[in-house]
Amino acid sequence: MDLVNGSQEAPQESLDTDMESFFETAPPLRDGLDISRKLGEFIELNSPPTGERIVCVTSGGTTVPLEQRCVRYIDNFSSGHRGAASTEYFLKAGYAVIFLHRRGTCQPYCRSLPEDSLLECFELTEESSVQGVFNVKCDIEKHLNSHLSQAVEQGLLLKLPFTTIFEYLQILRMVATSMKSLGSRGMFYLAAAVSDFYVPWESMVEHKIQSASGPLDMRLAQVPKMLSMLRKEWAPMAFCISFKLETDSNILLKKADMALRKYKMHMVVANELLSRKEEVTVVTSSGRITVRRDKNEADADVENPLIKLLEERHSTYIQESNTTN
């Protein structure tokens, strides 16, 4: 696979053209109208006087199909745990949440459920009884009902799934342009692991790539940088937090600083793959803050103190925006 990694920065005009061509050539969303309707209703319901703040949490990795009738694809690592946990804490903090997530990844309030199929948990032993199994089932149902369905039914949680980079970026654009009207009350918390490279739809083969023709030689184009577009056009007043993941801790903070400046983010959350559940560093224009999980508390998440910090900073941002406007 010939991975073309152009390290030179593209000029603005070429970025705009790349962006236009990405959207023009992407396969249209099958449920675009339905998403648009749901978004409109959700934002109206959660706008004053009934609602206050809305955050769009992105979660999970995007896939890059290699064939139009996709059999093979490239994937970005993300279990979706960060996004699911953060959604729970945002809801607790009083936000309405648009959860833009990769299909099949971790869901809010379901993080503690076993990975194995539920049926396996219900395996009967000599000691256990059908009544015991029934109780476990009821406990799980109670747990899910009390949180997840409540949030959905009360109109505080809108779940929008994606799989490919094409779906992700088209839905993100729809969410962002719909949230523009919220001004500074809107927030973007971009924890999804988004591919940097992709195969443009029109240059993708239709059918399954055959192995008989020898080694695979494929050119990947760069995914246009959507963060700039989000800040400049889609929702310029929204409070924007992006994530930076690295496996080499020596370059992590430098890369996060660069992202903060280049894409004019309000905050960048830097995390290293192996320690991401223990600590993150929040990079802002006024300094860096290390946020750690409380190790003295059983099952404590790093997302708990992280969302508290973001909520405070968002409040200050809203106040400042109100006084300047």
Least Cβ distance, residue 273 to ligand PAZ (angstroms):
7
Least Cβ distance, residue 83 to ligand PAZ (angstroms):
6
Report the alpha-carbon distance of residue 203 to residue 12 in Å, rounded.
24
Please identify, using beta-carbon distances, which residue of 48 and 114 lies nearer to ligand PAZ.
Answer: 114
Of the residues 82, 173, 313, 314, which one makes contact with ligand PAZ according to CB under 6 A: 82
Of the residues 182, 191, 204, 268, which one makes contact with ligand PAZ according to CB under 6 A: 191
Task: Name the DSSP letter for residue 158.
Answer: E
| Under rule CB under 6 A, residue 276 binds ligand PAZ | yes
Of the residues 46, 107, 163, 271, which one makes contact with ligand PAZ according to CB under 6 A: 271
Reduce the DSSP state of residue 104 to 3 states and report it. coil
Beta strands in the chain (DSSP E): 54-59, 63-65, 73-75, 96-102, 157-162, 186-190, 197-198, 221-222, 239-246, 267-272, 279-284, 287-292
Report the alpha-carbon distance of residue 269 to residue 178 in Å, rounded.
25
| Under rule CB under 6 A, residue 81 binds ligand PAZ | yes
| Under rule CB under 6 A, residue 263 binds ligand PAZ | no
Least Cβ distance, residue 181 to ligand PAZ (angstroms):
27
| Under rule CB under 6 A, residue 194 binds ligand PAZ | yes
Report the alpha-carbon distance of residue 108 to residue 89 in Å, rounded.
10
| Under rule CB under 6 A, residue 101 binds ligand PAZ | no
Of the residues 39, 54, 187, 193, which one makes contact with ligand PAZ according to CB under 6 A: 193
| Under rule CB under 6 A, residue 80 binds ligand PAZ | yes
The closest of 73, 18, 75, 103 to 204, measured between CA atoms, is: 73
CA-CA-CA-CA torsion sign (125, 128, 130, 135): negative
Q: List interacting residues with ligand PAZ (CB under 6 A).
A: 78-82, 191, 193-194, 243-245, 271, 276
